[in-house]
Amino acid sequence: MKKKVTLKQIARELDVSISTVSKALRNSIEISEDTRQKVQAFAKLYNYRPNNIALSLKNRKTKTIGIIIPEIVHHFFSKVISGIEAVANQRGYNVIVGLSNESFAKEVINMEMLANGSIDGFILSIAKETQQQQDFHHFTETINQGMPIVMFDRVVNDIKCDKVIVDDSEGAKLAVNKLIACGCKNIAIVTTKDYVSVGKLRTQGYLEALEDHKIHPKASLILKVHDQLLSEDHLDSLEVEIENLFKNNKKIDGVFAVNELYAITTMKVARKLGLTIPDDLQIVGFTDGVLSKHAVPALTTVSQHGKKIGEKAAELLINNLEREDEEDIYETVVIETELIERDSTK
Amino acid sequence: MKKKVTLKQIARELDVSISTVSKALRNSIEISEDTRQKVQAFAKLYNYRPNNIALSLKNRKTKTIGIIIPEIVHHFFSKVISGIEAVANQRGYNVIVGLSNESFAKEVINMEMLANGSIDGFILSIAKETQQQQDFHHFTETINQGMPIVMFDRVVNDIKCDKVIVDDSEGAKLAVNKLIACGCKNIAIVTTKDYVSVGKLRTQGYLEALEDHKIHPKASLILKVHDQLLSEDHLDSLEVEIENLFKNNKKIDGVFAVNELYAITTMKVARKLGLTIPDDLQIVGFTDGVLSKHAVPALTTVSQHGKKIGEKAAELLINNLEREDEEDIYETVVIETELIERDSTK
DNA sequence: TGTCAACACGAAAACGTTTTCGTAGCGTAT
DNA sequence: ATACGCTACGAAAACGTTTTCGTGTTGACA
């Protein structure tokens, strides 16, 4: 087992100083052709690689990006990560991942762990619990310490940082307009409670789309699903809630669901109730994940382009990190949503 | 913007030496009660946190684990990550993720980037291309430099490291036995080419199960899908291959598919051909992902317990890292598979 | 012979810690 | 008065780099 070789060892071995070795390796003209060759040959032989940690300490930058997301077993978030990783890697950065599990405490702890020198900046999406508690001190504090943040998807407006979002309300309108265009008269929405920012926005888009078409929204057609239901265990009660929605509103002929799981579950319930899709009932979802693509019938849905979101977020962060002038002008980039038409609509 | 405060600054401010500050913060008895209080108060006020990078350099350990996986937008791998992250975090480690995208070159580059001090050890699953090329020098080299590796799922046998695998062939037998028990007489398998280690093993299990029941395997019932098909774009040709399988073997009444996508696609093709599941055709998949759970009918499948695999891998790695004695005895842990019976079998 | 520039290299500081060792100051016992 | 032992603290090294600055040697030139 040959341990990693350091400048010091090379220096000792070749009977020169550490400085000389360092310079020789970086091809400094201060060093004679002769010694340069000698040193480089030796370094190559022993497979010398500079120690990243030492470099980080010296340069006071780590070339690493910290990602904090609520969950990783989730198509959208892993897409975003793959986007971040792609541009990060290409620009010489590494990516370190922390999971909040939707918990405020874990979000804070994770950020604190990473903020003490391990990374140069954050890319994150806020935990549900944090959105609920509206406690954002950990964000402002890290920013105050000079560490930039880029938020994506679930953002909080009055924090001074770059943001990458989709136009959720616009995307929702896309979906609902499609349903209207396809002849639906009684369009229901299956959505989350309002404290989930994206849920709220999508609900708004639903309402606006209806109003644009002079359709009066009915409260009974708006199902704000009780919480924790996204955690896959509570699927049953989700089904019950949706089933009640249908039973109380026999005339529903279109459903807009604000995420994949809601959409799929709605399909399942509808089938159980004897409705055919898309003939009796049309459905549009949000998030173009693996479920939508392989569902039967395949789900018409609003794609957020998760990978693109990640790429943009990484780009913004790295640009910020490598910017010379210290002016902080923050951007909010909106990634276009796109309606992917498949077989759950006519 | 108040930058992070260091020992040196505290020392200067309080007019004591750096050593004193360090000791005071760590409650050394060398320091008088008085100064200890003073220093700690000051540190708390300015929210002092030791710099991780400096600590890493000094201790020559980073408390970070490097993960290299072929793909992250994948239910199984993200499950594994979540498992790793859970125990890593709980034991005070961070997790840094590299993606190989199934490419040999990217695998090597990623490992080199991380191996130069950024991490204490690796947890990885091998890229397809690496399996194909059978070039494993980057693994042996990092191990020779004293950096431990834990491989999971796709492993290579003759590398000196801990491994966490599922008993793929046993899992496959579980699946095929189930089909046999449910009365299937002509069981086909949809699998990968043999260089994918897990595919090969599952194919083996299929053959063994048949032989155990004195059923003579037929070559025409074994579909080794042409490559790249897992990348979601080539779905069409996957469907064609499967469709041909059915057309050439009208009597197929059971299919074992070695992954979720193959299983789902088989279902889709079967439906197109007018077969009802599970009446005309029964299907068992491998990997209990979100697709299997929400498919219609829900898919009977072999669960690998991805999260458990991740947890075990992290446990092995960290135990190794924190072991005092340097004996290298390596374990191969087999995580039990489990047959999850749902509606695609009788 | 003396001066100066160019060349080739080394010493040392710096990044932020922890830890070992040395020691100044003081009280106590002989 | 001398010796000894505490107490409380500081100096310095170490981790592995990069970079600035200083300097010894050589050769050329007047």
What does the block give as tokens for B29? 């008895």
Average pLDDT over residues A89-104: 96
Given CB atoms, is A49 within the 8 Å cutoff of chain B? yes
Angle at A214 between CA A210 and CA A216, to 5 degrees: 65
Cβ of B222 < 7 Å from strand C?
no
CA of B6: which chain A residue's CA is closest?
A: A116
Question: Which nucleotide minimizes the distance between its C1' and the CA of B22?
Answer: C18
In contact, A225 and A194? CB cutoff 8 Å: no
Cβ of A12 < 7 Å from strand D?
no
Looking at the predicted structure, is the pLDDT value of residue B231 above 60?
A: no
Tell me which CATH homologous superfamily contains domain A62-165+306-335. Response regulator (3.40.50.2300)
A162/A151 Cα distance (integer angstroms): 6
- Residue B292's pLDDT band, with cuts at 50, 70 and 90, is very high
Residue type, B72: I
> Which residues are CB-contacts of A185 (< 8 A; sequence separation ≥ 6)?
A251, A253, A254
Cβ of B12 < 7 Å from strand C?
no
**pLDDT the model gives residue A101:** 96
Question: Which nucleotide minimizes the distance between its C1' and the CA of B34?
Answer: D8
Contact B96 A99 (CB under 8 A): no
CA of B92: which chain A residue's CA is closest?
A: A113
- Residue B317's pLDDT band, with cuts at 50, 70 and 90, is very high
Alpha helices (H) along chain B: 7-14, 18-25, 33-45, 52-59, 75-90, 104-115, 128-133, 137-144, 168-181, 197-212, 235-248, 260-272, 290-294, 306-322
**pLDDT the model gives residue A233:** 56
- Residue A49's pLDDT band, with cuts at 50, 70 and 90, is very high
Interface test with A, best of B118, B276, B292, B309 (most A CBs within 10 A): B118
Percent of chain A with pLDDT over 90: 91
At the topology level of CATH, where does A168-304 sit?
Answer: Rossmann fold (3.40.50)
Cβ of B52 < 7 Å from strand C?
no
> Which residues are CB-contacts of B200 (< 8 A; sequence separation ≥ 6)?
B192, B194
A120/B341 Cα distance (integer angstroms): 47
**pLDDT the model gives residue A201:** 95
Contact A232 B146 (CB under 8 A): no
B204-229 confidence digits (pLDDT tens):
999 999 999 999 999 999 999 987 64
Quick one: which of B278, B272, B288, B268 has its CA closest to B335? B288
B70/B267 Cα distance (integer angstroms): 26
Contacts of B4 in chain A (CB under 8 A): 116-117, 145-146
Looking at the predicted structure, is the pLDDT value of residue A227 above 90?
A: no
Which residue from A1, A52, A96 is facing B146, i.e. has the nearest CB? Answer: A1
A vs B: CB pairs below 8 A: 145
B209/B218 Cα distance (integer angstroms): 13
Can you list the pairs that A241-245 forms with residues at least 24 positions away whose Cβ atoms lie under 8 Å?
A242/A190, A242/A266, A242/A269, A243/A269, A243/A272, A243/A273, A245/A188, A245/A190, A245/A221
β-pair type (B254-257, B282-286): parallel
B320-329 confidence digits (pLDDT tens):
999 877 677 8
CA of A56: which chain B residue's CA is closest?
A: B53
Cβ of A7 < 7 Å from strand D?
yes
Average pLDDT over residues A296-323: 96
B140/A9 Cα distance (integer angstroms): 23
Interface test with B, best of A63, A73, A81, A275 (most B CBs within 10 A): A73
Given CB atoms, is B311 within the 8 Å cutoff of chain A? no
A258/B183 Cα distance (integer angstroms): 42
CA of B296: which chain A residue's CA is closest?
A: A296
Residue ranges of chain A that CATH labels 3.40.50.2300 = 62-165+306-335, 168-304
What does the block give as tokens for A195? 């404290």
**pLDDT the model gives residue A228:** 63
Which SS3 state, helix, strand or coil, does residue A226 take? coil
**pLDDT the model gives residue A226:** 85
Tokens 């990560």 belong to which residue? A81
Average pLDDT over residues A118-139: 96
B110/B7 Cα distance (integer angstroms): 34
Average pLDDT over residues A201-226: 95
In contact, B338 and B303? CB cutoff 8 Å: yes
Strand C: which nucleotides have any atom within 7 A of a protein Cβ?
A: 7-12, 14-21
CA A130 remoteness from chain centre: 16
Cβ of B57 < 7 Å from strand C?
yes
Protein residue closest via CA to C1' of D20: A19
Cβ of A27 < 7 Å from strand C?
no
Cβ of A19 < 7 Å from strand C?
yes
- Residue A237's pLDDT band, with cuts at 50, 70 and 90, is confident
**pLDDT the model gives residue B237:** 85
Residue type, A279: D
B77-92 confidence digits (pLDDT tens):
999 999 999 999 999 9
Residue type, B21: V
Given CB atoms, is B91 within the 8 Å cutoff of chain A? no
**pLDDT the model gives residue A235:** 64
Average pLDDT over residues A127-150: 95
Contacts of A295 in chain B (CB under 8 A): 294, 296
A302/A205 Cα distance (integer angstroms): 13
Contact B72 A78 (CB under 8 A): yes
- Please report how the helices B235-248 and B260-272 are oriented relative to each other, as an axis angle in degrees rounded to 10: 60
B234/B216 Cα distance (integer angstroms): 32
Which residue from B51, B113, B290 is facing A291, i.e. has the nearest CB? Answer: B290
Task: Name the CA dihedral angle for A137, A141, A144, A146, rounded to a multiple of 10 degrees.
Answer: -140
Distance from CA of A248 to the nearest CA of B (A): 25
B33-82 confidence digits (pLDDT tens):
999 999 999 999 999 999 999 999 999 999 999 999 999 999 999 999 99
Residue ranges of chain B that CATH labels 3.40.50.2300 = 61-165+307-335, 168-305
Instruction: Please report, rounded to whole angstroms, the spatial distance between the CA atom of protein residue A39 and the C1' atom of nucleotide C3.
Output: 35
- The dihedral sign for the CA sequence B9, B12, B18, B22: negative
Which residue from B57, B73, B99 is facing A79, i.e. has the nearest CB? Answer: B73
- Residue A211's pLDDT band, with cuts at 50, 70 and 90, is very high
Contact A96 B99 (CB under 8 A): no
Looking at the predicted structure, is the pLDDT value of residue A229 above 90?
A: no
**pLDDT the model gives residue B222:** 96
For A128, A134, A136, A222, B4, the CA distances from A131, given in Å and listed in that order, are 5, 5, 9, 22, 27
Q: Give chain A's radius of gyration (CA, Å).
A: 26
Given CB atoms, is A99 within the 8 Å cutoff of chain B? yes
Average pLDDT over residues B109-119: 95
Contacts of B146 in chain A (CB under 8 A): 1, 3-4
Q: Is A230 or A107 the better-scoring residue by pLDDT?
A: A107
Question: Which nucleotide minimizes the distance between its C1' and the CA of B36?
Answer: D8
Which residue from A85, A271, A290 is facing B291, i.e. has the nearest CB? Answer: A290
Between residues 113 and 132 of chain A, which touch chain B (CB distance below 8 Å)?
113-118
Which residue from A57, A72, A264 is facing B53, i.e. has the nearest CB? Answer: A57
B133/B246 Cα distance (integer angstroms): 33
Distance from CA of B216 to the nearest CA of A (A): 34
Q: Is B236 or A238 the better-scoring residue by pLDDT?
A: A238
**pLDDT the model gives residue B120:** 97
Cβ of B18 < 7 Å from strand C?
yes
A70-88 confidence digits (pLDDT tens):
999 999 999 999 999 999 9
CA of B295: which chain A residue's CA is closest?
A: A295
Looking at the predicted structure, is the pLDDT value of residue B113 above 80?
A: yes
Q: Is A235 or B267 the better-scoring residue by pLDDT?
A: B267
CATH code for B168-305?
A: 3.40.50.2300
What does the block give as tokens for A174? 């896309």
**pLDDT the model gives residue B246:** 95
Given CB atoms, is B94 within the 8 Å cutoff of chain A? yes
User: Does an H or E element contain A25, and which?
Assistant: helix A18-25
Distance from CA of B133 to the nearest CA of A (A): 23
Average pLDDT, chain A: 94
Lowest mean pLDDT across A50-64, A204-218, A227-241, B329-343: A227-241
At the topology level of CATH, where does B61-165+307-335 sit?
Answer: Rossmann fold (3.40.50)
Contact A296 B296 (CB under 8 A): yes
